[in-house]
Amino acid sequence: MTTENAELTTEEVLRRDIPWETYMTTKLITGTGLQLLRRYDKKAESYKAQLLDDDGPGYVRVFVTILRDIFKEETVEYVLALIDEMLTGIQLFYCPLLLEESIEFIGHNDQKLSIRLLWKGNWFIQEKSCKILSLTVSARSKVQNGADANGDASSSKKKITTIDDVLAGVVEWLCAQLKKPTHPTRSIPSTINCLSTLLKEPVVRSSFVRADGVKLLVPLISPASTQQSIQLLYETCLCVWLLSYYEPAIEYLATSRALPRLIEVVKGSTKEKVVRVVILTLRNLLSKGTFSAHMVDLGVLQIVQSLKAQAWSDEDLLDALNQLEQGLKENIKKLSSFDKYKQEVLLGHLDWSPMHKDPIFWRENINNFEENDFQILRVLITILDTSSDARTLAVACYDLSQFIQCHSAGRIIVNDLKAKERVMRLLNHENAEVTKNALLCIQRLFLGAKYASFLQA
């Protein structure tokens, strides 16, 4: 695909003079079409709006006929710019009749036209075609809702569902852009912007998942700093939020790194709209599969509690934070005793809950400490360096001493993980509870298992 004319702007294109009379002479447009174009072209915005009020469908038909029958790039670019201006700058959304007629004509008569422009045109043509399609699809939902409310759902449905056949081809093009962008800087933002609109459509969600598009979004979930990258991040997260309502997409998200990436974003973002869409996504995923357990493991509860302490103006965000916090707390209650213990360690806040001094807990769960190359034991040892909370340090020392006593290779493992020096430093801690449990840990570390079992906290 060529990137020729990639830097064109709508304003530059609309300054062109198009030889409409020549096209009528060659019978590429009709006499009626020429009259409409003469009235409309190069006129003030307010005058164009009045013309659309009077005969909007007529103008749309002329524009789409030109796109279908004329292949000269300069003319195609010009008409796409006129349609873009009509959709975004004048009053299409304020004229339901024009909207319905426009959708019917574009969707029913020229389904393949939009796909041809996406794949064959230069970047300006591709970008405008994609934007126009997205706006049209977005607007048809509003028309459908209005028709349902007015009791005309049956006839309206026939008009507005024909464009569904186009959307699979559009999704294919969007996925191709994510894999191999046509434009070095604008392809990805434009594609994500269109997806954030189109993924509201069930048929697009289905096509996007079938095209393996979910995995193409995940790398774009990354903390951002510039205004442009923040907008891209927001729209990417918006896409994930829309997909979180679709079960097949959730299955893809569960097997990707989407969750840890979303958590990194929400931890580092100060933009309320970004935090909002991520939290709403996490709330949607909370009850799905193993997402809740993973959120617990990744410390989402602590993050949510930290976010709640900040001043947010968005009521939806505040509600979602409360719901997420409540859901995570309920999930923690349901977890097994070792899962509870693991969550406590991963959060880095230890207290004298019953399991720490329960010999049955240690006997039944000692082998669980070997999971993920002794991950929980390693975190426990790290806490000795990083925590400033006396109670946490005391409990961590006690738990290490319990591991040494209960695991057949406890002394060797703890020594290999360089825990001895860290515990030794705590022997001089100002808190008596810390020094007492640090001493117990050192004694069990130096004594054999035969004698260590006689030492009690």
Q: Note the pLDDT tens digit of each residue in 12-47.
A: 999 999 999 999 999 999 999 999 999 999 999 889
Q: Is the pLDDT of residue 148 over 50?
A: no
CB atoms closer than 10 angstroms to residue 228: 11
Q: Give the gyration radius of the chain's Cα atoms.
A: 31
Phi, psi dihedrals of residue 195, rounded to the nearest 5°: -60, -40
Predicted pLDDT at 145: 53
Task: Tell whether the torsion through CA atoms of 87, 92, 96 and 97 is positive or negative.
Answer: negative
Mean pLDDT of 185-209: 93
Task: With cut-offs at 50, 70 and 90, classify the pLDDT of residue 7.
Answer: confident
What pLDDT digit, counting tens, does each position of 105-114 carry?
A: 544 445 456 6
Q: Which residues contact 152 (CB under 8 A, 6 or more apart)?
A: none
CA angle 410-413-417, nearest 5°? 135
Mean pLDDT of 430-445: 95
Instruction: Tell me which H or E stretch contains 352.
Output: none
Q: Is the pLDDT of residue 395 over 50?
A: yes
Helix (H, G, I), strand (E, B) or coil at 128: helix
Helix (H, G, I), strand (E, B) or coil at 179: helix
Are 285 and 256 in contact by the 8 Å Cβ rule? The answer is: no
Predicted pLDDT at 267: 93
Instruction: Tell me which H or E stretch contains 208.
Output: helix 202-210
The lowest-confidence range among 1-5, 79-83, 249-253, 378-382 is 1-5
How many angstroms separate the Cα of 231 from the Cα of each of 2, 9, 88, 402?
26, 20, 19, 50
Predicted pLDDT at 90: 53
Task: With cut-offs at 50, 70 and 90, classify the pLDDT of residue 294.
Answer: confident
Distance CA 286, CA 131 (A): 33
Percentages helix, strand, coil for the chain (3-state, rounded to 5) are 75, 0, 25
Predicted pLDDT at 290: 81
Predicted pLDDT at 49: 86
How many angstroms separate the Cα of 233 from the Cα of each of 201, 219, 229, 262?
21, 10, 6, 10
Q: What is the dihedral of CA 438, 441, 443, 445, to 10 degrees?
A: -140
Mean pLDDT of 42-59: 88
Mean pLDDT of 72-90: 86
Residue with tokens 């010009």: 78
Predicted pLDDT at 6: 56
Average pLDDT across the chain, whole number: 85
- Winning range, highest mean pLDDT, from 37-46, 60-69, 115-124, 336-345: 37-46
Q: Is the pLDDT of residue 101 over 90?
A: no
